[in-house]
Structure 1
Amino acid sequence: MSLNMIVDTIFVGRWIGPLAISAITVVLPVTFFIAAIGLAVGIGGSSVLSRALGAGNDKKALQVFGNQVTLTLLASGLLASVGLIFQDTLIEFFGAAESFKELALTYYRIVMYGIVMLAMCMMGNNVIRAEGKPKFAMYAMMLPAIGNIAMDYLLINVLDYGMEGAAWATFISYAICFAFILWFFLFKSELRLKAESFKLKKKIVSEISGLSFVTLARQGVIAVLTILLNNVLINVGDAIDVASYGIISRVLMFALFPVIGVNQGFMPIAGYNFGADKFQRVREAINTSIIYSGILALGIFILIMIFAEPFVSIFISDKAGQDAGSLADSAELLKRTPNALRWVFAATPVIVIQLIGGSYFQAIGKVIPALLLSLTKQGFFLIPLILILPNYYGVFGVWISFPIADVLSTIVTGYYLNRAVKKDLISS
């Protein structure tokens, strides 16, 4: 999925230009938030579903899944409609400058037509993992990534459709993912839904919503953070700085996907065993997840520190076929971005405690601690830092806000995770 989201940025940067990266970057918050509806309902509902399966309550598991489908369709469909109606206003609010506004609108309109499919994919993928079939969940993410690469090459490079080509390639990738997940639940899943499963039940909706709100709040804060970053970077910098953040956010997303993968794999295991009162296994899951994701995070940190320039250059073309303005923008982008990337990744080795700690509380159904810890980095530390530091340090103040927020949020999460493990997991 990370590859699916990063590939558009690579192709538009190399084949259209740096301003196209800026355009995709300002579109990201709204598409990200609507897709997060499915992710939130998927993660929150799957926590309930995992515990129901662990306790042998198959009837409740079916009801939970049916309600997840209904909630995702209703919420994402409504937000997508509103997003299309107010597209001009939203694009400006997200930080689009006149130099790339039309490029952003072109991409935004087409992608929004398929965003409900993406929301359903994000929800369904989490249910597949909760059902204990992670290979199918992996296939559901790999197939659209491959499709997106092929369609990007065809529509942008071969047929020269520009931003429209990038947008339609993304749309088609959503459709591929949705088709695969639909096939899985029709023919491979053990969760055989009936018509009554889709009817919303107040108790089930309340249980799903409570835990979903944790993920939705976290993803919503990330969307707000992206909007804030786009606007701050335009105010203290320029469109090239927005493109820099676009590249950094994609590298961040792609580089950390192994760590996030361990985290997502940890949640259903912790939830299932907690529901079955196997507390020693929950402890083992926490320790194993922190150790392995920590090793991965350290490796990622070393790679970024050494190879920042090559990573950034993937997104930038120096071909003579570009006009003089695009070539100058590309050169400036390559000059500014590598050091910014290093600063953003400076505290990567410690973030695993923050991720696993927040997910533990969500997995065992403790909504308030999960919500507060999930908002610690972006909401309590990063957003205030970005509002303050650029006033003194300009664009550099934006980049150094990331490692400071990582360290502070890790200290807070580590404290509460250690206390909770000693209190909750005292028997086996």
Structure 2
Amino acid sequence: MTKDNPLGYEPLPQLLKKFAVPSIIAMLVSSLYNIVDQIFIGQGVGYLGNAATNVAYPLTTICMAIALLIGIGSASRFSLYLGAGEKEKAARVVGNAFLMMLVGGIAYTVLVELFLRILLTAFGATPDVMPYAESYTRITALGMPLLIVTNGMSNLARADGSPKYSMVCMLLGAVINTILDPVFIFVFGWGVAGAAWATVIGQFFSFLAAVQYLGRFQHVQLRREMFRLSPQESIRIASLGMSSSLNQLAITLVQIVLNNSLTYYGAASEYGTDIPLAASGIVMKTNAILLAVIIGISQGSQPIVGFNYGARQYDRVRGIYKLAVSCCVAVGSVGFVLFEFFPTQIISIFGTGDALYFEFAVKFMRIFLMMIFINGVQMISSNFFAAIGKPVKGMVLSLTRQVLFLIPLLLILPLRWGMDGILFSGPVADFAAFVTTVLLIRHEMKHIRALEEAQKA
């Protein structure tokens, strides 16, 4: 199997470039759905429109959590089976995963539509922001099943050795969304609803392209009887995708706590409630662009790690992990320079505001993202554990930064330092998560070296 599949013998830098670059582009494109909406809404509607998309953003991250639960989990099982030479089992993983995507997407849309106002209130919507947020989300919720299938199938296509196809799927929708956004917002005058419809239409065309890959798998042959929803297989898929999914859910939980903390402490400050809400949305979505690159590297390394671990080529497993981490630290360092030295220029892209708005947004970006250069280590490592079939460790690691450290700090530090306590909770949590990651990875690498030595003996 290692001779038949380039994952087992091609040079690691060449492989990572081949798989990570299309994955990075696909993730950037996915992030651009929200960024493009934010830019055009900021220019056409104003900062209340930006605040509305910020309030609605947790629903998108929950949707992405479902997509990663199924997509990363099924891609990990698919890679492990391919590495072990079990193509029939790999094919059944695909069929089961596709049905999971459809069922999960439809169920999520129904729940969002039924409980939308309750959810938006919980996410921090103020009375002024609520009409914009509800108008935007009623429409974007319709595209949630499309987004889940597209992202899930993109992970499987990448694991099958077709990273460029997954990139094209995402790129198609983003281009359509970018073209339609200014037309619907400025020409038709639809405001936030126009941005929402542009997003859904773009997602529909990405969905069509993703579904077509079911007939194009290179390493397995799909038959009708393989499209069955097995509870046992679904649980196994979910277990391997849990760490990536929990990381997204944790981001959602952080967003909810952050939004409510900003409005609460903002009301007692000179900034008021809406300025911190709008500014944090821009900062978090700008950071999402950098995280998209890091996640792209992580996803690009996943099939390489999974295949070689399944094939017991442990030296290649260690090598690809070190290479991926090095790339993420380099990317994070670039982000650090941009966020610390050019925050005003970045924030200005998303529309205008008064002096207080820019003052808070610049301060938020510089302090909250201070430790961005080490964030990628934790994300790469949690996905690494899932790729080698150890979902519990990946799950624990994915929860460290967001749930174990950041949320408690967001609740505790402001009691003493007010708004500044909210801002400094970010870098403190980042550093604590980094130290935890180093300890867990050192232990796992010792275990992998022991397996390697035992194999040689």
| Interval of TM-score (by shorter of Structure 1 and Structure 2) | over 0.9
Amino acid at match of 2:332: A
Equivalences, count: 417
Match for residue 323 of structure 1? none
Matched, 1:231 2:260: yes
The question of whether the paired residues in 1 share the 8 Å contact of 2:282 and 2:350 is answered with yes
1:138 equivalent to 2:167? Answer yes
Stretches of structure 2 that go unaligned for 5 or more consecutive residues are 1-29, 267-272
Q: Say what the alpha-carbon RMSD is for the aligned residues.
A: 1.5
Q: Distance in 1 between matches of 2:252 and 2:97?
A: 22
Aligned pair partner of 1:204 in 233, 242, 247: 233
Residue pair 1:298, 1:348 contacting (<8 A) in 2 also: yes
2:400 corresponding residue in structure 1: 376
In structure 2, the partner of 1:265 is: 300
Pairs within 5 Å for 1:120-269: 120-187=149-216, 191-237=220-266, 238-269=273-304
Residues 180 and 332 (structure 1), Cα distance of their counterparts in 2 relative to 1, 3 Å cut: farther
Deviates more, 1:299-308 or 1:110-119: 299-308
Name the CA distance, whole Å, in 1 between partners of 2:419 and 2:221. 53
Q: Deviations over 1:329-362 (max 9, x none)?
A: 5443222101210112211121222122212111
What percentage of residue pairs aligned between the two structures are identical?
32
* Deviation, structure 1 residue 46: 0.7
Q: Deviations over 1:219-257 (max 9, x none)?
A: 222211111111111111111101111101110001232
Q: How far is 1:183 from its partner?
A: 2.5
Cα separation, partners in 2 of 1:162 and 1:135, compared to 1, 3 Å: same
Match of 2:368 in 1: 344
Query: Aligned partners of 2:130 and 2:231: how far apart in 1?
Result: 43
Cα distance in 2 between the residues matched to 1:418 and 1:92: 43
Match of 2:112 in 1: 83
User: SS where residue 369 of structure 1 aligns?
Assistant: helix
Shift of 1:129: 1.0
Residues 89/202 of structure 1: CA separation in 2 closer, same or farther (3 Å cut): closer
Q: Which moved more, 1:91-100 or 1:270-279?
A: 91-100
How far did 1:85 drift?
A: 1.1
C-alpha spacing 1:335/1:75, structure 2 compared with 1 (3 Å): same
Is 1:60 the counterpart of 2:89? The answer is: yes
| Mean CA deviation greater in 104-113 or 231-240 | 231-240
Q: How far is the alpha carbon of 1:187 from its aligned partner?
A: 4.4
Matched, 1:92 2:121: yes
Q: CA deviation at 1:69?
A: 1.0
Relative distance call for 1:15 and 1:191 in structure 2 (3 A) is: farther
Deviation at 1:157, TM superposition (A): 1.9
Looking at structure 2, the residues matched to 116 and 282 of structure 1 have their Cα atoms a distance apart, in angstroms, of 34
Q: Deviations over 1:256-311 (max 9, x none)?
A: 32222111111111111000000000011011111122112111211221111100
The residue number in structure 1 matching 2:33 is 4
Equivalent residue number for residue 355 of structure 1 = 379
Gaps of at least 5 residues in structure 1 are 318-328
- Is residue 451 of structure 2 the alignment partner of residue 417 of structure 1? no
Q: Does the aligned pair in 1 maintain the 2:70–2:97 contact within 8 Å?
A: yes
- Residue matched to 2:80: 51
Query: 1:17–1:330: 8 Å Cα contact kept in structure 2?
Result: no
- CA distance in structure 2 between the partners assigned to 1:310 and 1:299 by the alignment: 16
Following superposition, the deviation at residue 30 of structure 1 comes to 1.8
**Contact preservation (8 Å) 1:273, 1:279:** yes
Query: For 1:354 and 1:214, how far apart are their aligned partners in 2?
Result: 11
Residues 1:387 and 2:411 aligned together: yes
Question: Deviation at 1:182?
Answer: 1.7
1:28-39 aligned within 5 A: 28-39=57-68
Q: Distance in 1 between matches of 2:73 and 2:100?
A: 12
In the alignment, the residues of structure 2 paired with residue 331 and residue 15 of structure 1 have an alpha-carbon distance, to the nearest angstrom, of 20
Q: Find the counterpart in structure 2 of residue 321 from structure 1.
A: none
TM-score by length of 1: 0.94
Aligned partner of residue 80 in structure 1, secondary structure: helix
User: What are the Cα deviations for residues 132-166 of structure 1, in whole angstroms up to 9, with x where unaligned?
Assistant: 11111222222222111111111112222101101
Q: Distance in 2 between matches of 1:40 and 1:67?
A: 13
Matches of 2:96 and 2:449, distance apart in 1: 31
Q: State the alpha-carbon separation in 2 of the partners of residues 129 and 148 from structure 1.
A: 23
- Residue of structure 1 equivalent to 2:70: 41
CA distance in structure 2 between the aligned counterparts of 1:368 and 1:393, rounded to whole angstroms: 36
Q: Supply the distance in 2 between the matched residues of 1:12 and 1:130 (Cα, whole angstroms).
A: 36
Native 8 Å contact 1:13 1:21 kept in 2: yes
Shift of residue 192, structure 1, vs aligned partner: 4.1
Partners in 2 of 1:3 and 1:79 — Cα distance?
A: 22
Alignment check: 8 A CA contact 2:63 2:148 kept: yes
SS for the counterpart of 2:189 is coil
Q: How does 1:263-342 map to 2 (within 5 A)?
A: 263-317=298-352, 329-342=353-366
Amino acid of the structure 1 residue aligned with 2:81: A
CA distance in 2, matches of 1:418, 1:299: 26
| Partner Cα distance (1:170, 1:331) in 2 | 31
Alpha carbons of structure 1 residues 192 and 109: separation in structure 2 relative to 1, 3 Å: farther
Distance, in Å, in 2 between the alignment partners of 1:161 and 1:190 is 46
Look up the SS of the partner of 2:280 in the other structure. Answer: helix
- SS of alignment partner, residue 124 of structure 2: coil
**Deviation (angstroms), 1:191:** 4.4
For 1:325, the equivalent position in structure 2 comes to none
Matched residue of 2:358: which SS?
helix
CA distance in 2 between partners of 1:423 and 1:135 (Å): 34
1:178 shift after superposition: 0.6
Aligned AA (2:153): G
